[in-house]
Structure 1
Amino acid sequence: NAANPAVPRGDLIVAFAPHAGYIYSGGVAAYTYKAVKTRKIKRIILLGPSHHSLFKGVSVYREGYMKTPLGMLEIDDGLAGSLINEEKDARFYPDAFRKEHSLEVQLPFIQEALGRVKIVPILVGMLTKDSFDFITHRLTEILRSDSQTILIVSTDLSHYHSYEKAREMDNLVIEDILNLSVEALERDLRSKRGEMCGSYPAIIGLSVARMLGATHGVLLKYANSGDTAGRKDSVVGYASIVILKSNLTPEERATLLNLARETVKSYVKTGRVPEPEISDRRLLANGAAFVTLYKRGHRLRGCIGNIIPVMPLYKSVIRNAVAAATRDPRFRPVEPEELDEIDVEVTVLSPLERISDISEIIIGRHGLYIEKEGRSGILLPQVATEFHWTKEEFLRAVSEKAGLPPDAWKTATLYRFTAEIIN
């Protein structure tokens, strides 16, 4: 009841909550569950670290109930069973749960906030490539098919540093999570610049969120044990974070489009790019974007972008605006005298989603990415609409864009994606 988080905009996909004793981190964890309480949730998948038991891969609690003083929480045994694959190091290790607190401390919060929901508890041990690939892809499939299921990652942050050092380390890790940067999080944890006892669960959760098209994170509450109930010379950090998926607001769309326009003008005229002060979390989070230039409204003059979100969205727009104006190999660089005739379009991409049948492609909604024999090509959704292509014509065109024969799509790896188009 004391937690009062602002209601974040967007669909909640993944949440982070700490797992220390309630006198230390309970006040922070409450923010997570207060935010979750506002959503229609029927099932929670809990993902936490194993502190006491060593095992390879992940341990999925298979069936039955978990009991607290508030009553019983039922395991969704059907869903749990679908997450077990012994060949991929995903099993049920009963011993892993015997003394483990990282998931159990979440249960009373779930019961208080959501009542009779079903749960699937998963502990992460010594993660293998097989178990990581399997569990991330399976969790992605589950959450994509059911909007009333969410993933909660249980983790504390830095352990037993001074108050000031802990805040420095924790701020770094929190920023990585809010930006959806799995790469930066892995780098900071590996270099010891940041710490999390639930590092593997966090990386899994963030990877799942990105594959589901998450757009940004929101920090609801941060504190460490020096703020709550402990001494300040040796503290543990705690954060309540939600990972969300939302469309760009009109203001965010205008910011990106203006940024692309000003970047083209500035770089073509002076060779310099703008250095904007951006505070909007949606634009600071990693994103993938294309920038397209048209001359006199209809003639393509350049189009460059990235399909993987490896930098903040606003930086992706700046970089690709420069590249579209000066480095598209199909065109000569834009000249200053052309600028008054140049129209700019920004396309913000969703994650790529592999498809197995062309019936999964909707003209006007999906763009296409193709891979075969070391070659690849991409066409944005608006291209098919502009040329009034059929599905087959779109597939032939993306094959040729990759330098492949027109019918190469029949034996190639195909991906679809959606996009927000700003012009």
Structure 2
Amino acid sequence: MGKILGAYVSPHPPIIVEEIGRGEEKRAKKTLDGVKKLALDIKGESPSTIILVTPHGPLFSDAIAISYEDTLVGSFWNFGRPDLSFKFQNDKALVKDIVDRAAKEGITVAKIDKKFSYMYNDVDFHLDHGALVPLYFVNKEYMDYKLVHITYGLLSPTELYRFGTIIQEAVLASAERAVFIASGDLSHRLKEDAPAGYSPKGEVFDRKIVELFKNNDFEGIANFDLELAEAAGECGLRSFIVMSGFLDGFKKKTEVYSYEGPFGVGYCTAKVSVYEGGEDYKLLDKIKKAKKEKIISIREKEDEYVRLARQSLEYYIKYGEIMDLPKNLSEELLKNRSGVFVSLKKDSMLRGCIGTIEPTKENIAMEIIKNAVSAGVEDPRFLPVDESELDEIVYSVDVLKEPEKIDSIEELDVKKYGVIVSKGMRRGVLLPNLEGIETPEEQINIALKKAGISPDEDYSIERFEVERHI
């Protein structure tokens, strides 16, 4: 029978690797001390297998990736040091069991090897820096282990947590003594010159995550606000959620070794020790229940705009046709005409958004019905919504006011105004007050990209306000 020895949180900035930082790593002294302490801790545990989850391997929206080559290799070539190369034995028996168990639970796992790489040219089967930075420090202290290398997918938190429990089940069914490393940086938006620019939500995100670790609140990690995480520009939350699932059922004690943000990116190091737990420490059912209660609460607060959007898509998915106008709609919906955008979210992540700048139907109600269905089944960025997803989707409806032409970007306000950029027949639209968009420059650049307009072209700008229903 296998044994779980504990888990670790590690950041992965290549700059803290001495050969890459060349002195700059000293600006992250707390982080350096933290990762070195983690390495010594792992040496003390002497695991036979290290399971590492990273954000920077092959990333899929609908699947988790797991390295499947017998030997796992990688280097820091893309950081100017190809001589810093690494080789690990893959724990293939454990990997195969994880894949099989995940398949039985309906969680897709992509097996990344050379064959997969040849079939999909943009998929790299080598180890990424999200894995290599933590393992660089581990290997200085301890090297007698096999590796399981996993890249989280953009799945729901509940699916990621469940996948973590699947890894736990596979370890306990094996003969391995395993530790888990959750690789991830916190906000990338702590300073004006940070990699993703500045957002005040970056500091909020980091403070909340560190406090959750200090309080051993892994249910809080699993139920964390994904919209706040997106606005903070982080890359660690999903690793932490998988780790939380891996530790499900154990009593846990977390020691945060360090936190700092010297380069505008938050770095946290921590150790999670595990002890005998039991049913009181199993959180998966609680997480599912909390998710269901949240949806019920949202449904109870729907106004008639949002309710009409939801009913429209649900009817179309179930019956394959557009529903008739419901009775008892307000005059506001039946007598007025306007452009309408309908947005769908699942687990706080966009699941579809389609809209019209100007009215195309006889009233707002018909506009909502048409665009709700289009958002669910015609948005080219996403697969059509499946009936099994309907109970998890959250809707919002934006009713557009008349656009007005403006002469300068200074006339924009990302919270108040949406933007339309135009050049000939090309048009790009972006709604106001979207998570993660902090400046008019960001707003314009995204709208231009959507329209296929170069920033160097002579384009026109319009702004508009919306009446948002959530």
TM-score (norm 1): 0.48
TM-score (norm 2): 0.44
